[in-house]
Structure 1
Amino acid sequence: KEINEIMKDIMKGHELYIRFFTLGPSNSMFSVPCIQLTDSSYVSHSEKLLYRPGYEEFVRQGKDAKFFKFVHSEGELDERNISKNIDKRRVYIDTEEGIVYSMNTQYGGNTLGLKKLAMRLAIHRSSKEGWLTEHMFVMGVHGPNNRVSYFTGAFPSLCGKTSTSMVEGETIVGDDIAYLRKKDDRVYAVNVERGMFGIIMGVNSKDDPLIWKRLHSPEETIISNILVTPNKGVHWIGKDGEVPEKGINHSGEWFKGKKDDNGNEITPSHRNARFTISLDTLNNVDPKLDAPEGCLVSGMIYGGRDSDTWAPIVQSFDWTHGIINKASSLESETTAATLGQEGVRKFNLMSNLDFISIPLGRYIQNNLDFGNSLENPPLLFSVNYFLKDKDGNFLNEKTDKYVWLKWTELRAHNEIDALKTPIGYIPKYEDLKKLFKEVLNRDYTEEAYNKQFMIRIPELLAKIERIENVYKTKVPDTPEILFTNLAEEKERLNKAKEEFGEYITPDKWQ
């Protein structure tokens, strides 16, 4: 009833865009046709860059097509073309019928229906059909003899997801959402999209050379919520060069030192300012971007922002250990940019917590069943780029991830050995020393290795307690195997503590 009341005549006097798209490549077992109705040129244009055309997919699937439907309206606009009736701002998601209504909103997350709104529909659908919808990048990691191995990766916001998928020397299939299906006892993944809707804050020529180059090339690009200067230049937080004195941004007329109603200084661009591009305009796009069969998955990576617990890269013992002790135990520390308070640990199941549209226990069980039905499932890894020493200094360089990726690729082909610890397999020093020299032309000291890959038993035990508490108090349908696996890891850690002490260097596992 409320939907009908709010939506009645909401587009009166507006232009209606009717767009047909497909999630996943066309003519594929992954293809999900979609129809978008919107009165926003921004939504229509953005989705043109982000998704594959879908009309032919509707024709291919015919009357049996199981498609998603999205209806969006900005509603009545004010003199700045901003949605007026915010008291009637709504988003309705009907997972059974596969339809989403969003109204009186212009925020990308609530208007670009095929992105995270469609993800909620797909999680519900895939849980019934035996495949996975994950908040993951898909990338090609290049190994010896021109070999390319494909990895997926799940990271919460501001934890290195896009920067990992865009590592120089590797190739990107997608940076955000993946569908995973089984075929011939193997796992294949596709990028649901074919564009990038990225946060532009902090993008600069030094830290993000590939994105920087693309944003300064003559290709179609949409940038939103940035500062436009009087001479029609643009600026965003962290961009190369001096901050302009004035311009137009999300607050209207802007100048240095401008404050909001609460006395807080207004930044030149919004912290959630975005750029939208098609992936096929990137120099490092992978040839399998639109491959109907998808990419054969060699490994899956789970990473968070963690200053004192997880080592930089660890391989799980097996699929169950990876899904429970890595993916389902994922936490990320907040930054000042996210919540205004740094260092608060936030639980984020598989980096997908905000989008899971089924009971969490069922979601975990679906993941367990998916891999355990295979004779040789992909390897699972945890990564952590944010480990610090006791003085608060980072123990890793930003580029160290280049090496961790190469190590995972070699492990996926069983071409490199590892040390077995209570929390999984860690790299051997001599292998990393060689990789750092080959990949980064950097010397890698044993002192750095020992600090990075030390097993920190008090912190690891405290983490298990936190994770157990989350599932005991907030997830009533938690699979019992989760508590069993956490208890087994706790037992392994306590046994190691008795033998070697609370902080154990890698040489003890030789």
Structure 2
Amino acid sequence: MESRTFLSTFRKEVAVPEVEGEAKPSLGNWMPLHEADCIIKERFENCMKGRTMYLVPYVMGPIGSHMSRPGVELTDSAYVALSMGIMTRMGERAVGAMKCSEGTSSRLVKGLHCSGRPKDGKLAVPFWPCDPERTVIVHKIEQDEIFSYGSGYGGNSLLAKKCHALRLGSYQAKCEGWLAEHMLIMGVEPECGCGRKHYLTAAFPSACGKTNLAMMKPAVAGYKVSTVGDDIAWIHFNRTTGKLHAINPEYGMFGVAPGTSWKTNPNAMATFMKNAMFTNVALTDDGGVWWEGMEEPCKGVKVTDWHGKPWDKLNAKTPAAHGNSRFTCPIYQCPSLDKDWENCDGVPVSGIIFGGRRPHGMPLVYEALSWNHGVLVGSFVKSEATAAAEHKGGTMMHDPFAMRPFYGYNAGHYLQHWLDIGCTPGLKQPKIFHVNWFLRNKEGGFAWPGYGENIRVLEWMLRRIEGDDTVAEETPIGYVPKEGAINMEGLDPKPDHDHLFKFDKEFWLKEVGVLVPGQETTDPTYYAMFQTVLSLLSRWKNPRNS
């Protein structure tokens, strides 16, 4: 609901970048406080009449951690109350933590949610109230308040998740000197125990493989992967270690169901085998759930689609499950859960990864030349739109830091905050990488097998983190693997190294908004925020030395 989501502040420039002329900011929507108050009053008056109201106290992050933050949500949705019990530390222990934090700097986030009630009182879909024509999600970031009306979808109704953990969280982080990011957190270490364990964070737009990577089951021997979180990271500077440390503020997983299977993500499948909820998936008459990408139902089993209608694969014209259907389950059931996933000090971050769905031009992996260059790399993340966004599938969306729908304040100030974090005295800066698991080959298929085979790319990253200069070569966009540096043993067919790591100058000139001779731009606002800086790339031979 990107177009229905607003930041409301005293001054507009706190929330969104100033733009020239009549152009509309594309990284966030702003609403004046007086207008927000009118909308809230008009929608919320009597909206819960006749319904049960649930008061949900919660804590984001491990109980007792200085990195955790409290919140409370008032809702008329039993689905929300149950989901918040899975996704957060909810209830008596949360109230106890709030009492212990009284008088500290912890800011209580207050959320109000209503599924909605159409003006005529009639529901288009039985048992699941909503008001799609008047749906709105308003964040008063300076008052730590969230108002969500008209939608029962998890991302719009579980206010602890994107609304608190990212939008209000990122604004609190800017004010207090830390980072709230749309990132997974994972640990990677040698199976033999003879090497150091490293923790990585990764920011990908929705449906680009964050959950699969966070819970990866390596396809080759040599390394094991552990899961700290699959979606959100709160990152603080630790003076003792000199590193950035990250916690997962969530207590559960809210993942995209289609495409998840025992083949693509066995750890996720094992995680939601019990104590889980599913929304908008198909049902089988033997009591199970089903979606596209799962193993086929047993012979004779009947399937009911997410509309509640009989579904037959041979004759169906529409998918059985909604493209953005979800599972919600406790993360502590995950077989690959890291032993330090609830460490109150978080885990030390050795590397940060950005990525998106890019069929052409973007190499499989490259490493930024410096922290500032890494901020630049994060700023021009792009990805094909999926069912999780309000855009046509296949549309290439600019999604800086994978935060496009989740910025809690001015995106320009956000970039400056990242640059400032990199200048923290005593900071041991983590390496920054960009990956593209979705590069296509000449035949139109995927050039890289992905899933558990991605451990081969992570292995290269770890060698770079540990200072191995023999496995990389410098290009105008950063460091890429030398031929033979990525383990290709056992892959059939063997991927084409030159195709995976080709540097296409014309692609990159277009990527950064510089006109290629003989071409005209089709978008007059193409990367307007970054064009002045990025255009320098067209003249650089070596960005690091310029």
Common fold, TM-score beyond 0.5? yes
CA separation of 1:376 and 1:452: change in aligned 2, threshold 3 A? same
- Specify which of 296, 307, 313 is matched with residue 251 of structure 1: 307
Once structures 1 and 2 are overlaid, which stretch shifts more, 384-393 or 97-106?
384-393
Report the Cα offset of residue 430 of structure 1: 3.4
Which whole-Å CA distance do the structure 1 matches of 2:225 and 2:150 have between them?
41
Instruction: Give the count of matched residue pairs.
Output: 478
Partner of residue 183, structure 1: 238
Counterpart contact for 2:509–2:515, Cα < 8 Å:
no
Equivalent residue letter for 1:400: E
Counterpart contact for 1:194–1:289, Cα < 8 Å:
no
- Specify which of 278, 292, 303 is matched with residue 223 of structure 1: 278
Which whole-Å CA distance do the structure 2 matches of 1:430 and 1:230 have between them?
51
Partner SS state of residue 179, structure 1: strand
Report the Cα offset of residue 331 of structure 1: 1.0
Partner SS state of residue 14, structure 1: coil
- Specify which of 16, 22, 44 is matched with residue 81 of structure 2: 44
**Does 1:35 pair with 2:78?**
no
Report the Cα offset of residue 361 of structure 1: 1.1
CA RMSD of aligned residues (A): 3.0
**Does 1:431 pair with 2:480?**
no
Partner SS state of residue 414, structure 2: helix
Report the Cα offset of residue 444 of structure 1: 9.2
Report the Cα offset of residue 150 of structure 1: 0.6
Report the Cα offset of residue 88 of structure 1: 4.2
Query: Aligned runs of 1:164-313 on 2, under 5 Å?
Result: 164-168=213-217, 169-184=224-239, 185-216=242-273, 219-242=274-297, 247-256=303-312, 265-313=317-365
Partner of residue 58, structure 2: 21
Q: 5+ residue gaps in structure 1?
A: 496-510
Partner of residue 411, structure 1: 464
Which whole-Å CA distance do the structure 1 matches of 2:542 and 2:466 have between them?
32
Once structures 1 and 2 are overlaid, which stretch shifts more, 121-130 or 312-321?
121-130
**Does 1:393 pair with 2:439?**
no
Which whole-Å CA distance do the structure 1 matches of 2:249 and 2:497 have between them?
37
- Specify which of 100, 123, 126 is matched with residue 170 of structure 2: 123
Once structures 1 and 2 are overlaid, which stretch shifts more, 219-228 or 67-76?
67-76
Partner of residue 450, structure 1: 498
**Does 1:364 pair with 2:401?**
no
TM-score, normalised on structure 2? 0.80
Partner of residue 83, structure 1: 129
Report the Cα offset of residue 339 of structure 1: 7.5
CA separation of 1:365 and 1:233: change in aligned 2, threshold 3 A? same
Partner SS state of residue 252, structure 1: coil
Counterpart contact for 2:365–2:433, Cα < 8 Å:
yes
Which whole-Å CA distance do the structure 2 matches of 1:470 and 1:322 have between them?
27
Report the Cα offset of residue 249 of structure 1: 4.1
Counterpart contact for 2:115–2:131, Cα < 8 Å:
no
Q: Can you list the C-alpha shifts for 1:9-68, whole angstroms capped at 9, x where unaligned?
A: 322332222122111222222111011111211111111111123222201111444111
TM-score, normalised on structure 1? 0.86
Which whole-Å CA distance do the structure 2 matches of 1:494 and 1:291 have between them?
41
Which whole-Å CA distance do the structure 1 matches of 2:322 and 2:281 have between them?
6
Partner of residue 505, structure 1: none
Equivalent residue letter for 1:397: P
Counterpart contact for 1:138–1:153, Cα < 8 Å:
yes
Counterpart contact for 1:220–1:277, Cα < 8 Å:
yes
CA separation of 1:465 and 1:104: change in aligned 2, threshold 3 A? closer
Equivalent residue letter for 1:170: V
Equivalent residue letter for 1:253: K
Percentage of pairs with the same residue? 28
Equivalent residue letter for 1:460: W
CA separation of 1:268 and 1:311: change in aligned 2, threshold 3 A? same
Q: Can you list the C-alpha shifts for 1:315-359, whole angstroms capped at 9, x where unaligned?
A: 1110011111x1011111346997886653211111101111212
Q: Specify which structure has the higher proportion of helix.
A: 1
Report the Cα offset of residue 362 of structure 1: 0.9
Partner SS state of residue 266, structure 1: coil
- Specify which of 475, 487, 491 is matched with residue 421 of structure 1: 475
Partner SS state of residue 310, structure 2: strand
Report the Cα offset of residue 233 of structure 1: 2.9
Which whole-Å CA distance do the structure 1 matches of 2:522 and 2:96 have between them?
46
Equivalent residue letter for 2:327: F
Partner of residue 344, structure 1: 395
Partner SS state of residue 429, structure 1: coil
Which whole-Å CA distance do the structure 2 matches of 1:103 and 1:432 have between them?
49
Partner of residue 507, structure 1: none
Counterpart contact for 1:196–1:278, Cα < 8 Å:
yes
Partner SS state of residue 513, structure 2: helix
Which whole-Å CA distance do the structure 1 matches of 2:61 and 2:162 have between them?
14
Which whole-Å CA distance do the structure 1 matches of 2:428 and 2:493 have between them?
33
**Does 1:160 pair with 2:209?**
yes
Counterpart contact for 1:245–1:256, Cα < 8 Å:
no
Report the Cα offset of residue 443 of structure 1: 8.0
Which whole-Å CA distance do the structure 1 matches of 2:412 and 2:523 have between them?
9
Partner SS state of residue 323, structure 1: helix
Report the Cα offset of residue 490 of structure 1: 2.0
Equivalent residue letter for 1:150: Y
Report the Cα offset of residue 473 of structure 1: 3.2
Which whole-Å CA distance do the structure 2 matches of 1:198 and 1:284 have between them?
16
Report the Cα offset of residue 195 of structure 1: 1.0
Partner of residue 70, structure 1: 111
Equivalent residue letter for 1:295: V
Which whole-Å CA distance do the structure 1 matches of 2:132 and 2:392 have between them?
28
Report the Cα offset of residue 448 of structure 1: 2.1
- Specify which of 139, 147, 152 is matched with residue 186 of structure 2: 139
Partner SS state of residue 537, structure 2: helix
Q: 5+ residue gaps in structure 2?
A: 1-37, 218-223
Once structures 1 and 2 are overlaid, which stretch shifts more, 86-95 or 381-390?
86-95
Equivalent residue letter for 1:16: M
Equivalent residue letter for 1:252: G
Q: Can you list the C-alpha shifts for 1:66-113, whole angstroms capped at 9, x where unaligned?
A: 111111122447471121544443322211111111223211121110
Partner of residue 332, structure 1: 383
**Does 1:55 pair with 2:95?**
yes
Which whole-Å CA distance do the structure 2 matches of 1:494 and 1:178 have between them?
33
